[in-house]
Copies of this chain bind each other. A is one copy, B any other.
């Protein structure tokens, strides 16, 4: 089995290192990851700048390839230019911080897995639901187990798994739940400042005010010390409203 690892926290991130340590026990591992942190890049790809690939060492030995691009760029260039044959699986992670609810659409971690899926390769995104004192041990073990399981059972075309794991030792994790993407609400804020030259600028920020507490939603499940697995696809059509439109009285055009 050959597994491509990537992330959005950058090639030097601890979560990627922990993941590689466990995954190399079961597969030939290739790391192709962004040179720098790429959080909240969404599903960006780099068309207007050249991409460069650089070999990176960690602890004195070859670790992987760094790309001056986004997570989606990394997966594309890995599959189409770096690797001789496509990998059997793409794992993106382990992200520092949950990728749940509306955050999913901003996530570079998920966009790498989406790109894998578009290229026809089974793909998963793995995130650790904390920003402080991360312990990637349980998450890396679970990723390994899930990788073996997917290798055996495969995934439907066009669908990836978005996995969020609580920041707990393995024995304290209470189970695994298949979930839907939760509903959330944010408070956006722009911190307005003046630079030393007298010009105004803004820092973008905000916080999640509310996240779905449903037992079947990613946020609710994580909060209850369980692993959440949400199957995600990229057909964004709202079929329910499409039916309403087709049967409705939206007369917009008399041509």
Contact between chains at A236 and B239 (CB < 8 Å): no
Q: How far is the CA of A145 from the CA of B254 in the complex (A)?
A: 11
CB distance from A242 to the nearest CB of B (A): 5
Partner of A105, one of B114, B179, B192, B227: B114
Q: What 0/1 pattern do residues 43 to 81 of A give for CB contact below 8 A with B?
A: 111111011110000000000000000001100110111
Instruction: Give the nearest-CB partner of A181 in chain B.
Output: B237
Residues of B within 8 A of A176 (CB): 252-253, 255
Contact between chains at A200 and B53 (CB < 8 Å): yes
Q: How far is the CA of A104 from the CA of B199 in the complex (A)?
A: 36
Contact between chains at A241 and B45 (CB < 8 Å): no
Contact between chains at A180 and B239 (CB < 8 Å): yes
Q: How far is the CA of A105 from the CA of B113 in the complex (A)?
A: 13
Residues of B within 8 A of A159 (CB): 238, 241
Q: How many residues of A contact B (CB 8 A)?
A: 82
Q: How far is the CA of A195 from the CA of B50 in the complex (A)?
A: 10
Main secondary structure of the interface of A (DSSP, over half): mixed
Determine how many copies of this chain the complex contains: 2
- A133 in the interface (beta carbon within 8 A): no
Residues of B within 8 A of A51 (CB): 190, 201-204
Residues of B within 8 A of A29 (CB): none
Q: What 0/1 pattern do residues 155 to 192 of A give for CB contact below 8 A with B?
A: 11001000000000011011110111100001011101
CB distance from A56 to the nearest CB of B (A): 16
- A residues 194-248 near B (Cβ < 8 Å) are 195, 199-205, 227, 229-239, 241-242, 245-246
- A250 in the interface (beta carbon within 8 A): yes
Q: A47-B40, A145-B253, A238-B232 are in contact. Are A246 and B204 (CB under 8 A)?
A: no
Residues of B within 8 A of A241 (CB): 155-156, 159, 231, 233
